Every structure is written in structure tokens, then in C-alpha cells.
Amino acid sequence: MLDRIRIVLVQTYHPGNIGATARAMKTMGLNDLVLVNPRQFPDEDATRLAAGATDVIDDCRVVPTLPEAIEDCVQVIGASARLRSLPLPCYHDPERMMVDAWQRLPDGPVAIVFGRERYGLTNEEIGHCTHQVNIPANPAYGVLNLSQAVQIVAYEAFRQASRQSLAPAPKAARGPYPSAEQLEHFHAHLHRALDIAGFLTQPHAKTEAHLRALFARAEPNRKEISILRGVLSALERTGPAGGGDDIERSTD
């Protein structure tokens, strides 16, 4: 199952941090590394700091956008020290995060996403995640190096694998869960249906961001997503309801 844990680094600035991340991963049995638009890669510093983990560097994928890095994942966890105004379900304990992630691995890969060294992930990038994780640290100086944060997550994955080595493969309680790509198709479908209904009347409203957060908290499985899309298709066929002036519009 460790090969289904994916580490995603978004726009890493220092190539040495990529190498140190590869080393942190390999020490705990992880090998799936994806880089999103790194500033400089390949690079000698990345290879040098990878030490004996150059195979992780050699086998990593480089993609231009975060959605491409996570499209096949059934859970996407954004590592962030800040809770946004539209908070996703958040783990404040990496061990608890990995216990839950393990239940989804039979359905597909789980990605843990780390942002830029200086300011982490943007709100838009957090919007592509299904969950957040916050690594507890000294409140007076809670600054973790990128590879240190990856090491903590990788260690928890290794511990969970060790616990489950003699146990049967876990089954998701409510799965199978949709992939990130399937969720993006659902949200695009939702946008079309709301637009046809005339609900999205304020160009700067955060309605769709609120809805993303709502569905992230609900964690619908694939069957539920299919039902929701069936409802949306029926609404699209019906079109705006006559006499629909009493429908509450999106204004906030």
C-alpha cells in the first residue's frame, strides 16, 4: 500500500529540497513523487541531496498543474499551517490522517500536497484538495523545512504499513470514493446546472467555493456522485423553472 501514497510538491523553489524530500520518502518506503512546475529540475543539488534515493528522483513525474498531479487520487490532503475562510475537513494529527487515508487506498492513490517553501499552497490549490493536514509544532516557532514535513508524513505512513502488515487489506467504509478528476467533472457539471438555472448572479460571489467545501466535508462516494450528477442532468433538461422568482439567488 505504500506505493499508493503520493507526495506532491508544488512549485518547489530550491532543487535541494526535492532531493531531501526523495531521501525522506525512500527511508520510509515511499516512491511516488510528483513535481508541479518546479523552478529548476533536474538539478545537481537535487541529485546530491537525494543521496541514495536517486531512483526516486529519476522516476518522479513533472507536470505543469496540480490537477494533473492528482487526477487519479481518491483523497487529496493539502499540508497547510493556515486554516482558510472556507475550511476543508482538517487533520491536526498526521497519525490520524494516515489511519483514515489507509482505508481509501484500496480505491486508488492518496496524495499529500506540499506547497512552496515561503508561503505554501494558494487558496485555489487548497480548493483542489479534499482535506487539509496541519503538523503540530512549537507555536513560538512552528517553521518546518519542506523535507522535514514530508519526513513526518512518510514516517506515519510507514508506521501504518507496519501495523497492517499482518492484517487483511482494508476496505473503505463508504467507498469506493471518486477520484479527484471525477470530482472536478462533478463540480463542472454543478457549475453548468447553476448557470442554466440563473443562480450564479454575482460574478464575485464565493458560492461555488462554499459548495466545494460543503461536498468535501460530506465526502460523497462514487455512487452518490453519480446520483447527484443524475439530478443535475434532470435539472438541465428541465431548464429554469417557470415562476421561479421565489428561488433564492446567490448574493454573498
2-164 has which fold? Alpha/beta knot (3.40.1280)
> Taking the CB of residue 59, how many other CB atoms lie within 10 A of it?
11
Q: Which range in 112-116, 210-214, 223-227 is most confidently predicted, on average pLDDT?
A: 112-116
The confidence score (pLDDT) of residue 96 equals: 96
The residue among 45, 52, 48 whose CA lies nearest residue 23 is: 52
Task: Write down the pTM of the prediction.
Answer: 0.81
- Cell numbers for 176: 469506493
Average pLDDT over residues 115-139: 92
The residue among 155, 21, 128, 12 whose CA lies nearest residue 69 is: 128
Q: pLDDT, tens digit, for every residue of 25-45?
A: 999 999 999 999 999 999 999
Q: To the nearest whole percent, how much of the chain has pLDDT over 90?
A: 62
* 162-195 per-residue burial string, b: 16 or more CB within 10 A, e: under 16: eeeeeeeebebeebebbbbebbeebbebbeebbe
Distance (Å) of CA 235 to CA 197, 203, 240 = 8, 22, 8
Separation CA 70–CA 179 (nearest Å):
8
- One fold for both 2-164 and 180-246? no
CATH tag, 180-246? 1.10.8.590
Q: pLDDT, tens digit, for every residue of 234-244?
A: 888 876 654 44
Q: pLDDT, tens digit, for every residue of 157-177?
A: 999 999 987 665 555 557 788
Give the residue extent of every domain in the chain.
2-164, 180-246
